[in-house]
Structure 1
């Protein structure tokens, strides 16, 4: 690929998470994760959230039945400075979270939104 073609893509702008009710999901992501709304489009039934990083998260309502399979689904991974502290804070807010997984490079855990969408939090060891 030439240098010119390498500049056609400039990173990931947003990650879309499909939800059954954008209002319920938006409130959950704001209350449980502390994310702020940067764009709300009621006619398209979508909300864009600031993730405190370069990539936003877009919640987009669908009327289709969702089938989420942890082994095949794509999902966002949120960066955190302390996975254990975050997991404890999320659980205190009523968020379903799985066990911490640790290796020499990262500590991470999976958690779920009200629609059962898979989310992950990851701490990279420096």
Structure 2
């Protein structure tokens, strides 16, 4: 039974982030993070964004209030070779970013989109 599901699940295709303004968020993710649009459906208020990895990010507009609890939210973690340089670049671009946390294995920080959705960048120590 386990092999049947392993053959059918082939990894993560995309991560969905709900946003209050499709247009504002699409521009933010393109301008601030440098993502490009792979697919867009303005009627559905969604865009699939290229993250330069095997997993895309889909922003999807909603009329519901976006309520984010940083302590319980699910969020994507982006790889980076240099957490400090990335954090500084994001701050220079006007992105709200927390301070860097470092442990024996990683250096990481959280940052936020216009709706306060949690995003994280992580550098794994060699």
TM-score, normalization: structure 1?
A: 0.97
Whole-Å separation in 1 of the counterparts to 2:5 and 2:18: 31
Counterpart of 2:117 in structure 1 is 117
Whole-Å separation in 2 of the counterparts to 1:5 and 1:69: 32
For structure 2, list consecutive stretches of 5 or more residues without a partner in the other structure.
Answer: none
Counterpart of 2:3 in structure 1 is 3
Whole-Å separation in 1 of the counterparts to 2:94 and 2:3: 48
After superposition, the C-alpha distances for 1:45-88 in whole angstroms (9 at most, x for unaligned) are 00110001000000000000111001111011111110000000
Whole-Å separation in 2 of the counterparts to 1:15 and 1:2: 24
For structure 1, list consecutive stretches of 5 or more residues without a partner in the other structure.
Answer: none
Aligned residue pairs, count? 126
Runs of 4+ in 1 over 6 A off after TM superposition: none
After superposition, the C-alpha distances for 1:18-48 in whole angstroms (9 at most, x for unaligned) are 0001110010000000011101101110011
TM-score, normalization: structure 2?
A: 0.97
